[in-house]
């Protein structure tokens, strides 16, 4: 079981935010840009419990909302909800598996990114007339979610070893 150390964990969230700000544009693969805040929220939600998953999601979302230019509060709601749901069901899945973590990060990324595109389309009156499922569930969302799940497997391996959570397995 993961032992929560808030100073260390908040430091990791801050590190993920700094990586999001300074490294995300350099690590862009085509139109898919990594989201390190999704990866760290999924990690804490999967290895802690639903309360800390909610807390980590709230903090990550709030940090992103503070620096966002539009739709204030949406990141906080989406990240908090995702962190809580993953944390709620973390004892029912095999957490040490890299494949499980990749699937969790993919689903969380897909949910957050497509929800964000939906609300941007609803907010913008010009996009409202062309708001379709193709806009919300675009290939960019799928590729970004796939890219996040790939980077998430690397983060899972690194964080599991650094925090001494035990051996990770492929399946």
pLDDT digits (tens, 9 = 90+) for 82-115: 999 999 988 888 877 889 899 999 999 999 999 9
Sequence-ordered alpha helix ranges (H) in 89-138: 98-123, 125-128, 133-136
Q: What are the CA-CA distances from residue 33 to residues 5, 6, 26, 60, 79 (Å)?
A: 29, 28, 9, 17, 17
d(CA 82, CA 103): 13
Return the structure tokens found at 63.
């940090």
pTM score over 0.85: yes
pLDDT digits (tens, 9 = 90+) for 39-78: 999 999 998 888 999 999 999 999 999 988 778 899 999 9
């Amino acid at each position: 079981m993961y032992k929560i150390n808030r100073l260390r964990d908040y430091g990791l969230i801050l590190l993920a935010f700094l990586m999001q700000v300074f490294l995300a544009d350099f690590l862009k693969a085509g139109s898919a840009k990594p989201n390190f805040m999704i990866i760290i929220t999924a990690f804490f939600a999967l290895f802690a419990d639903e309360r800390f998953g909610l807390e980590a999601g709230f903090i990550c979302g709030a940090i992103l909302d503070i620096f966002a230019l539009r739709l204030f509060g949406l990141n906080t709601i989406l990240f908090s909800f995702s962190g809580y749901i993953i944390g709620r069901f973390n004892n029912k899945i095999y957490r040490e598996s890299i494949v499980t973590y990749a699937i969790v990060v993919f689903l969380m990324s897909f949910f957050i990114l497509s929800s964000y595109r939906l609300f941007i389309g609803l907010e913008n009156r010009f996009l409202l007339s062309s708001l379709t499922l193709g806009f919300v569930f675009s290939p960019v969302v799928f590729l970004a979610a796939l890219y996040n799940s790939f980077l998430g497997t690397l983060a899972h391996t690194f964080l599991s070893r650094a925090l001494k959570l035990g051996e990770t397995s492929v399946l």
